[in-house]
Amino acid sequence: MAELPDRQESLELLGRMCLIRRFEEEAGRQYQRAKAGGFLHLAIGEEATIVGTTSVMREDDYLIGTYRTHGHALARGTPANEVMAELFGRQTGTSGGRGGSMHIFDAGRRFMGGYGIVGGNLPLAAGLALASQYRDEDTVTVCMFGDGASNTGNFGETMNLAALWKLPVLFLVENNLYGMGTSLERHSAVTDLSHKAAGYGIEGERIDGMNVLEVRQRVGEHLETVRSEGRPSLVEAFTYRYRGHSAADPEVYREKSEVEEWREKDPIENFIRLCCDQGVLSDDDVEAARREADETVEAAVKFADESPEPALESLYEELYVVSETMGWYAVDERSPEPHRGELGEDAPELARDLAESGAAHADGEDPEQQSRPGVRD
């Protein structure tokens, strides 16, 4: 069994897990209030896997995740204010309010984003690891993804390439037993997902993803192997999400008794019990950690609520408009000429037209009487 760290490190682990739990609970509440838009995927129950992994990564290591990554960003040090503001679609968010819940991003802390496409982050992880190898750095890329993504073509292709080129990447499967609403035994022929690594000559191991100390120990050892030997590895963290796949999930595919059974394995409560039983932390320490998480999240909601929305004039900023003469490197079937909106210099005019058209519609004018933005006259 992994040993408890000292008081200070135990406090840090507990604080991060409490922050993630409290943030996710509040994010769900704000979503119900229509403050957060788009989709929302919560990681309540998976805190030990997230915090245990990030706690043994170096600051210059890369982390890349999927669409359930609020906690990953928080664990890497991204301020809760910026993450909540991104959920609210505000200018002060991690992606300027343009990405929302599924596209949290913090390159400064080498959190290279969440991705809405299942398995879409896997090839990108290989690219990050290739960059480290090319620059002769000893940084490792940690790629975290769900059990469902292990069935995608991207998984097999990326695993093969990583093994072939000996890329410094650690693949970490957050196996919460369900690919959306489909149970593990119904969506994967191999239910011990760590065994999938063997076909590519990659070491694989299943660990208890509800135990932050075991995650720290085992992931830390895998990271050291990847870093020192320059070859990929795979860890399957067996974990569980207490909420649905997304905020819109009615959860008809699992029994309430199953969820309650897994709540007995709550990673935060069990860690608190262990720390207090062994005298590493006191009840006052635990209360202080929870109070700090509450205050941080409360401040984050206030910050997000008071932050401005992105200006309409910025609609075409940060897009792949590639030059001043031609917008896209593709020929439209309608004509070889660029269409309105495809040129970089068209962006301000088009944004203004969109604003005027929206205002006219709000005032009750016939939108058909307005010029249609995006279509060359």
pLDDT tens digits for 266-293?
Answer: 999 999 999 999 999 999 999 999 999 9
pLDDT mean over 337-347: 58
Position 342 scores a pLDDT of 56
pLDDT in tens, 92-137: 999 999 999 999 999 999 999 999 999 999 999 999 999 999 999 9
Residue 345 has which token pair?
Answer: 């210099």
pLDDT in tens, 230-245: 999 999 999 999 998 9
Position 312 scores a pLDDT of 84
Average pLDDT over the chain, rounded to whole?
89
Tokens 């910025």, residue located? 314
Per-residue confidence band for 358, with pLDDT thresholds at 50, 70 and 90:
low
Annotated domain spans of the chain: 7-306, 312-369
Position 81 scores a pLDDT of 98
Distance CA 114, CA 120 (A): 9
Position 372 scores a pLDDT of 42
Position 273 scores a pLDDT of 97
Q: Which amino acid is at 254?
A: R
pLDDT mean over 132-151: 96
Contact 173, 145 (CB under 8 A): yes
Answer with the residue of higher pLDDT: 174 or 37: 174
Phi/psi at 40 (5° precision): -145, 120
pLDDT at 347 over 70: no
Position 357 scores a pLDDT of 73
Which of 133-137, 314-318, 372-376 is predicted most confidently? 133-137
pLDDT at 299 over 50: yes
Tokens 């840090």, residue located? 12
Phi/psi at 41 (5° precision): -120, 120
Per-residue confidence band for 373, with pLDDT thresholds at 50, 70 and 90:
very low
Distance CA 299, CA 305 (A): 10
Per-residue confidence band for 370, with pLDDT thresholds at 50, 70 and 90:
very low
CATH (residue range 7-306): 3.40.50.970
